[in-house]
Amino acid sequence: VNGGSSKLFLENVHVFRNKTRDAKSDTNGAGIFVNGGRVRIRNCIFRRNESEDYGGAIYSDEGDGYIVIEDSQFLGNRANDNSGGGIYIDRGNLKIKNCTFDGNFAKEKGGGIFIEDDDGAVIRDCTFINNSANKHGGAFYADDDDIHFINCDIRNNKAGENGGGVYLDHDADINFQGVMKVTDNKGSGNRTDNVYFDPESRVHSGGLLDGSVIGVRSRKSFKILENITKYEYDNYFRSDAGSLSNKIRSEKDETYLASVFSDNYYLIMVGLLFMAIASAVAGVYSRKSRKH
């Protein structure tokens, strides 16, 4: 698909065992290569497609790309030398509903999906299972994006380094809504590592429901949860490493911030005073923030 006016509609199609290898130019997107334009996919299977570089099944470049995928499966696709085992998006807009990503692999990042600098993604009613990446984001990797996950199950995925389930890099913000399960994912050393945060990334709640469980981890102390209610904080979020703790005076479901601390860090929030104490690092600092 090449150009902003191009269109592709696939329905009831099985795309399997395509490979890009030893090409003189692009070796991306073994199943579908999108360079702008609009793509709609419904009730399709992408199985065992392999790209030499990016996007084992689907690769999308250029800012005006628009991709909608519904009721489809991505099974055993591979990005053999780079990122995005199932799907790779470099700019553009992505909407996915009721899809399964199972057993996809990326040598670098994003075993299931890799998204970078896009116009936003909405992923609804999807399952990510048994995907893997040698570096970050076994199921999903996002770099500098706004991502919405709604009623998704992300489990039993693995990353060679960080973010066995989800890896958020730079300014990536993620919004969890509905019943979200991000659990039983592994990072390096087979440690529990579900959602991993870069210091500039944040998690927001669009309204989580009972049954949700989300494990979170970071490499150092910083704020990661934003616009999360006390009930959501107490019932849906778990720390995969170190401590996740918060104290507020009000019992109301107010918006507040929380943080994940790696080992040897502890967080206290009392009213508007935020204090962090690192037992392994010399120095104590305090900071006041004002709610509006």
**258 pLDDT above the threshold of 80:** no
pLDDT at res. 5: 74
- Nearest-angstrom CA–CA distance, 28 and 79: 8
Which residue do the tokens 């579908």 mark?
32
- Nearest-angstrom CA–CA distance, 266 and 268: 7
pLDDT at res. 248: 40
3-state DSSP assignment of residue 287: strand
Q: Once rounded to an integer, what is the mean pLDDT over residues 148-171?
A: 95
The b-or-e profile of 91-130 (16+ CB within 10 A means b, else e) is bbbbbbbebbbbbbbbbbbbbbbbbbebeebbbbbbbbbb
% helix / strand / coil in the chain, to the nearest 5? 5, 50, 45
CB atoms within 10 A of CB 5: 9
pLDDT at res. 223: 67
**274 pLDDT above the threshold of 80:** no
Least confident of 185-199, 208-222, 268-282: 268-282
pLDDT at res. 36: 83
Determine what percent of the chain is predicted with pLDDT higher than 90.
56
As a whole number of Å, the CA-based R_g of the chain is 20
Least confident of 41-50, 209-218, 265-274: 265-274
Least confident of 77-91, 156-170, 207-221, 274-288: 274-288
Whole-number average pLDDT of the chain: 81
Is 163:137 a contact under the CB 8 Å cutoff?
A: yes
Least confident of 41-50, 145-154, 215-224, 226-235: 215-224
Is 243:250 a contact under the CB 8 Å cutoff?
A: no
Q: Once rounded to an integer, what is the mean pLDDT over residues 281-285?
A: 33
Higher local confidence (pLDDT), 225 or 267: 225
pLDDT at res. 66: 87
3-state DSSP assignment of residue 98: coil
> For residue 128, what are the contacts with CB-CB under 8 A and spacing of at least 6?
101, 102, 112, 139, 140, 152, 153, 154, 155, 157, 165
pLDDT at res. 32: 94
pLDDT at res. 243: 58
